[in-house]
C-alpha cells in the first residue's frame, strides 16, 4: 500500500532523513522507532507532504504521491505530534473539519462510527477542544483523523505526555483499528506496547535506517529497546 524509496529530508544543512526506504502492505502497522532527533517526525511529515522532500519517492497504492500535501491525499490521515487542535472549536466542529469536503451523508456516517469507537467524545460534542484533558484531546485528534475515512493513518507520538491509563486506552483503540484493517505508520516511544501492535519495524538513527524488517525478526520488545537505546 505504502512504498517509500530512498527518502531524504533536509533543513538547510541538517540532513534529517537520509535515503530511508520502507514498505507497508494494506492493514499493516509500521512502527517507527528511534531516539529524539532520529528523523521520525520528518519521515512521517514528508510522507504526508508537510515538509519538502529533498530526494526519493513516496507511492500509495501504486500511485506516485511524492510531495503531495495531506489534503490532496485521498485515504491518508495524520495525527500530528502534540495533537494540534484549534482550542476554540468544539469537539463537534473539530470532527466535522476532519471530514474535509465529504458530503453530509458520508460525514454523518463517519461521525457515528467515530463516536462508536471513541465513546468518550460522545457526551462532549459541544465542549471546546481547549478545555479537554490530554487523553480527551488525543481522542479528539484521533477522531478528527478518522473522519477523513483513511486507509492509512500516520500517528506521530500519540501517547506523548499521557497518563498510563490514557496511554492504555489509546493502544486499545489502535489495536481495534488494526483488527479492522486500517494501515498505520506509528511513531511511538512506548516501544513495548507499540512492538506488540506492529507488523514491521523501522529503526532510525541520525536520519538513517538502522534496522528494517518484520516485527518478529527484531526479536522481543526488549531486543528492540536495546537496538534503539544502545549507542553505536
- Using CB under 6 A, list all residues that contact ligand ATP: 11, 14, 16, 34, 36-42
Going by their DSSP bridges, the two strands 183-187 and 29-33 should be labelled as parallel
Indicate left, alpha or beta for 213 from its phi (over 0: left) and psi (-120 to 50: alpha).
left
Q: What cell was used for 197?
A: 501492535
Closest CB to ligand ATP among 143 and 158?
158
Closest CB to ligand ATP among 8 and 177?
8
Closest CB to ligand ATP among 39 and 99?
39
Q: How far is the CB of 137 from ligand ATP (least distance, A)?
A: 18
Residue 100: CB atoms within 10 A of its CB come to 14
Mapped onto helix, strand or coil, the DSSP state of residue 156 is strand
Q: Which of 65, 80, 67 is nearest to 160 (CA)?
A: 80
**φ and ψ at residue 12, rounded to 5 degrees:** 60, -120
Q: How far is the CB of 66 from ligand ATP (least distance, A)?
A: 18
Q: How far is the CB of 24 from ligand ATP (least distance, A)?
A: 18
Q: How far is the CB of 42 from ligand ATP (least distance, A)?
A: 3
Amino acid at each position: 500500500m505504502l512504498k517509500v524509496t530512498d527518502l531524504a529530508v533536509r533543513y538547510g544543512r541538517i540532513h534529517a532523513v537520509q535515503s530511508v526506504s520502507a514498505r507497508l502492505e494494506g492493514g499493516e502497522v509500521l512502527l517507527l522507532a528511534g531516539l529524539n532527533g532520529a528523523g521520525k517526525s520528518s519521515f512521517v511529515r514528508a510522507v504526508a507532504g508537510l515538509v519538502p522532500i529533498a530526494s526519493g519517492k513516496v507511492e500509495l497504492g501504486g500511485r506516485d504521491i511524492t510531495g503531495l500535501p495531506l489534503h490532496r491525499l485521498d485515504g491518508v490521515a495524520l495525527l500530528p505530534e502534540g495533537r494540534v487542535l484549534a482550542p476554540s472549536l468544539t469537539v463537534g466542529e473539530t470532527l466535522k473539519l476532519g471530514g474535509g469536503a465529504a458530503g453530509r451523508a458520508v460525514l454523518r456516517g463517519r461521525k457515528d462510527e467515530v463516536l462508536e469507537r471513541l465513546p468518550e467524545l460522545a457526551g462532549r460534542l459541544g465542549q471546546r477542544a481547549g478545555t479537554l484533558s490530554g487523553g480527551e484531546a488525543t481522542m479528539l485528534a484521533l477522531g478528527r483523523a478518522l473522519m477523513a475515512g483513511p486507509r492509512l493513518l500516520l500517528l506521530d507520538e500519540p501517547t506523548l505526555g499521557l497518563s498510563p491509563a490514557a496511554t492504555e486506552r489509546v493502544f486499545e483503540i489502535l489495536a481495534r483499528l488494526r483488527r479492522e484493517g486500517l494501515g498505520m505508520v506509528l511513531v511511538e516511544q512506548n516501544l513495548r506496547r507499540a512492538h506488540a501492535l506492529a507488523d514491521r519495524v523501522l529503526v532510525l538513527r541520525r536520519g538513517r535506517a538502522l534496522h528494517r524488517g518484520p516485527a518478529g525478526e527484531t526479536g522481543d520488545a526488549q531486543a528492540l529497546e536495546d537496538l534503539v537505546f544502545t549507542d553505536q
